[in-house]
Each structure stands twice: as C-alpha cells, then as structure tokens.
C-alpha cells in the first residue's frame, strides 16, 4: 500500500507526498497528473484540522485489487507515525476559493470510478446544480464513512447519478437543511433492477420545505416505465427537523419496493416517510414523532407513533452534568432496545457497540458517558451536555 500525505502548508511544486514534505492539494494526489497510482492500493491522508479550498475531480481509476481511500488524519497519528507533524480535527474540503466565492463544482466528484472510500472528512460543495458535497456518477463500490456532509448552500449532500450501484454511507452527519441529504437519481426500466445503496447509522439534520426534496430521496428522471430501482436500505438513522419529507420516493408512477426503512427515528419532521406511488417505500420498526408520520406509505406493524423519544437535547448543561452527544437516548428511553439489530450493524454512529435488540436511530446510550467502542469522529457541533 502507498500512502500520500496532503497538508494545507505543503507544496505541490516541491513536495513529494511524504508526511515530512506533503503536497498542498488533494488534486495533486488524485487529480489529473497526480501521484497516486492505479497499480496498487492507495491512501491519500489529509492533515487533521486543515482546510482545503478546492474541488476534486478523481482522475485515478482504482479497482478491487487497488482501491483508493481518501482519509482524514483526525487525531494526527498517521502523520506522526510517518515522521510528520499531524493536526487534530476533521480536515475540510470546501469547494470555495474564498469565504464569499463558491466554485461551480462538488467538493469531491467521481465519474465511472470504482472502489473508493471517503472517510473522516468534512465536505462542503460549491455553487452549481451538481455542486454536491460528494457527486458520484456511473460508479460502483463507493463507501462514505465517518464524515460531515453539508448540503448548504447548494442543496445536495451526496448525489448518486447515472448507473451508480453498491454505495454505503454510514456513521455520517448529513446537513440536509438546503435540500436533499442523499439524492439518488434513477430512471424507470421495463423491469425492476437492484442498485444496492445502504445508508445506516447516520444523523440527518433538516430538510427543505418542498415535495421535491427529502433528507433521503430516490427520484425518477426520464420517462415512465413498468420497473424501477430496488435495494435502497435506510437503517438505524435519526432524522431531525425535515420541513418536507425525511425519506421520500419521488415522481414514481410504478410501485417497485424502492426504499426499505428499518429501525429509524423521526423527530419533529413535517412528514416521516412518503411516496408518489404507494408500495415504493416499505417501513417497519420505526419511531415517528412527527406531524405526519407517513404519506402514501403503509404503516409497519411494529412501528410506533405514540412514543415520546426521550432524547438528549442539551438542556441540562446548565446543571454542569457529564457530556453526552446530542440525540443520544436518555436513560430508560423507549428508543432503547426497540427492535432487532439489522444484519451487519455492530456499532452506532460513534463506534459504540450495538446490542441486539438495539436502539432505533443513530445512537445507543453509553454509560458512563463516552464509553464504548472506537473514538468518535470529530463532530464537535453535535456535542452537548445532558441531564
């Protein structure tokens, strides 16, 4: 495996991509003429806490035998282990050339690529219609983990377009306040087809007040036909404050089972789950604390609309009590041990063990506060104090 290091204080002209002499831009590593090779596995390691003002277009072509990982060194350990000086915090890739000048592009864009993992980064897109935090077109085997993804100001956190398949988005905080958190654009087909998109243990904040938007949305583009995509699974996510629909199958006239929603928690959303065609969203084992739990979606027999979630909201910070993450279930909350743990889902958003049965939503409760699994990604803005 080859490691390439990037730091805001590095140099594309004189750097060599080492921890002691890093490059200054991610594009130097993986853009046109970059240093990463498709002949072996690569990690492009960004210095913790640094800001990279660039829009990245992935030019290298990874494969199953030579995957690419774009990784934030959030605790400085990877730089230090290679002899360099690391930083602390999630590095941010911001498609803005200045604080008042967005670039007409996504923070990270990939087209016809495969076998790429994006991990431990904060990502902010630019100004164009395609200016998502992450844009994925006609690609496969893509993973986004432990990231903060911002839809503001361009409407989209993650866009999956074309024939993109086999995508996993997990343990992320996704700001959907300007529009869509995760937007999947697909067309009809004569028969149903699987796209295998997994979204799990994520926290979605907000959502635009429009029927055309959703914190998670699968939208039909093009003409109508009998079939459509299947295999979008949303599990153990928390949705807070969506002004439209939190999860939506939009503009479909046929009724393939497009989205499956399990063990999710919907709090103060205008609508929890909705569909243009009844049958295209299958929900069960979810907790709804919303104005309208469902629209054109059959109620799951194990879902509840009568439970108060009892979540950490930070109010007891005035009482000088221990730190807890926002939206963690309070002690004895009905969210805890709500239903069966989904297959393969062993930890919550902060890397803490999930029991079986597990909590609905993105977080379990850890006692003592902060106990459990691996260190959490650095997402300080969601941490509050709780009583």
Tens-digit pLDDT string for the chain (387 aa) = 899 999 999 999 999 999 999 999 999 999 766 677 777 889 999 999 999 999 998 888 999 999 999 999 999 999 999 999 999 999 999 999 998 888 888 999 999 999 999 999 999 988 765 678 999 999 999 999 999 998 766 678 999 999 999 999 999 999 887 778 999 998 777 777 889 999 999 999 987 767 667 899 998 887 766 677 889 999 999 999 888 899 999 888 766 789 999 999 999 998 999 998 888 999 999 999 988 999 999 999 999 999 988 888 765 555 556 677 889 999 899 999 999 999 999 999 999 999 999 999 999 998 766 554 444 443 443 433 333
The answer to whether 373 touches 349, Cβ cutoff 8 Å, is no
Instruction: Give yes or no: residues 68 and 210 share one domain.
Output: no
* Phi, psi dihedrals of residue 46, rounded to the nearest 5°: -95, 135
Instruction: Give yes or no: residues 215 and 364 share one domain.
Output: yes
* Phi, psi dihedrals of residue 381, rounded to the nearest 5°: -70, -10
Instruction: Give yes or no: residues 192 and 138 share one domain.
Output: no
Question: For residue 170, is it within any domain?
Answer: no
Question: For residue 54, is it within any domain?
Answer: yes
Question: Of 153, 187, 217, which residue sits at a domain end?
Answer: 153
The answer to whether 283 touches 297, Cβ cutoff 8 Å, is yes
* Phi, psi dihedrals of residue 380, rounded to the nearest 5°: -60, -30
What pLDDT does 179 receive? 75
Question: For residue 343, is it within any domain?
Answer: yes
Instruction: Give yes or no: residues 223 and 287 share one domain.
Output: yes
Question: For residue 241, is it within any domain?
Answer: yes
Instruction: Give yes or no: residues 217 and 284 share one domain.
Output: yes
Question: For residue 130, is it within any domain?
Answer: yes
**Nearest by Cα to 341 from 329, 359, 327:** 359
Instruction: Give yes or no: residues 36 and 81 share one domain.
Output: yes
Instruction: Give yes or no: residues 126 and 184 share one domain.
Output: no
Residue 75 structural domain? 1-153
Question: For residue 311, is it within any domain?
Answer: yes
Question: Of 153, 168, 190, which residue sits at a domain end?
Answer: 153
Instruction: Give yes or no: residues 185 and 113 share one domain.
Output: no
Instruction: Give yes or no: residues 262 and 321 share one domain.
Output: yes
Question: For residue 140, is it within any domain?
Answer: yes
Instruction: Give yes or no: residues 202 and 68 share one domain.
Output: no
What pLDDT does 386 receive? 35
Instruction: Give yes or no: residues 246 and 362 share one domain.
Output: yes
Residue carrying the six token digits 């831009």? 25
The answer to whether 248 touches 277, Cβ cutoff 8 Å, is no
- pTM for this prediction: 0.92
Question: Of 84, 118, 153, which residue sits at a domain end?
Answer: 153
**Nearest by Cα to 205 from 236, 248, 183, 238:** 238
Instruction: Give yes or no: residues 78 and 181 share one domain.
Output: no
Question: For residue 167, is it within any domain?
Answer: no
**Total domain count, the chain:** 2
What pLDDT does 375 receive? 40
């Amino acid at each position: 495996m080859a490691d390439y290091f990037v730091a805001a204080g590095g140099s594309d002209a004189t750097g060599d991509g080492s921890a002691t002499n890093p490059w200054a831009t991610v594009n130097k590593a993986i853009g046109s003429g970059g240093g990463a090779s498709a002949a072996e596995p690569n990690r492009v390691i960004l210095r913790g806490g640094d800001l990279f003002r660039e829009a990245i277009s992935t030019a290298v072509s990874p494969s199953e035998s030579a995957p690419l990982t774009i990784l934030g060194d959030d605790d400085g350990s990877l730089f230090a282990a290679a002899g360099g000086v690391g930083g602390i915090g999630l590095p941010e890739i911001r498609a803005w050339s200045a604080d008042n000048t967005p670039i007409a592009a996504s923070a990270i864009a990939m087209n016809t690529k495969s076998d790429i993992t994006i991990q431990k980064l904060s990502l902010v897109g630019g100004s164009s219609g395609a200016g998502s935090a992450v844009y994925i077109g006609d690609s496969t085997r893509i993973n986004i983990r432990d990231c903060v993804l911002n839809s503001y100001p361009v409407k989209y956190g993650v866009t999956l377009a074309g024939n993109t398949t086999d995508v996993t988005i997990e343990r992320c905080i996704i700001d959907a306040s300007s529009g869509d958190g995760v937007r999947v654009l697909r067309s009809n087909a004569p028969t149903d087809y699987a796209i295998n998109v997994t979204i799990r243990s994520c926290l979605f904040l907000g959502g635009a007040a429009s029927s055309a938007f959703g914190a998670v949305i699968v939208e039909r583009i093009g003409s109508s036909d009998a079939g459509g995509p299947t295999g979008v699974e949303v599990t153990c996510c928390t949705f807070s404050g969506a002004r439209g629909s939190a999860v939506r199958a939009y503009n479909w006239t046929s009724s393939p089972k497009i989205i499956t929603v399990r063990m999710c928690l919907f709090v103060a959303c205008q609508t929890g789950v909705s569909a243009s065609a009844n049958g295209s969203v299958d929900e069960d084992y979810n907790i709804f604390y919303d104005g309208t739990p469902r629209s054109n979606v059959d109620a799951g027999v194990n879902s509840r609309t009568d439970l108060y979630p009892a979540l950490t909201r930070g109010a007891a910070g005035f009482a000088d009590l221990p730190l807890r993450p926002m939206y963690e279930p309070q002690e004895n909350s009905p969210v805890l041990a709500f239903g069966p743990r989904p297959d393969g889902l062993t930890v919550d958003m902060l890397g803490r063990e999930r029991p079986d049965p597990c909590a609905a939503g993105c977080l379990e409760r850890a006692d003592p506060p902060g106990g459990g699994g691996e260190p959490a990604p650095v997402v300080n803005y969601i941490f509050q104090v709780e009583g």
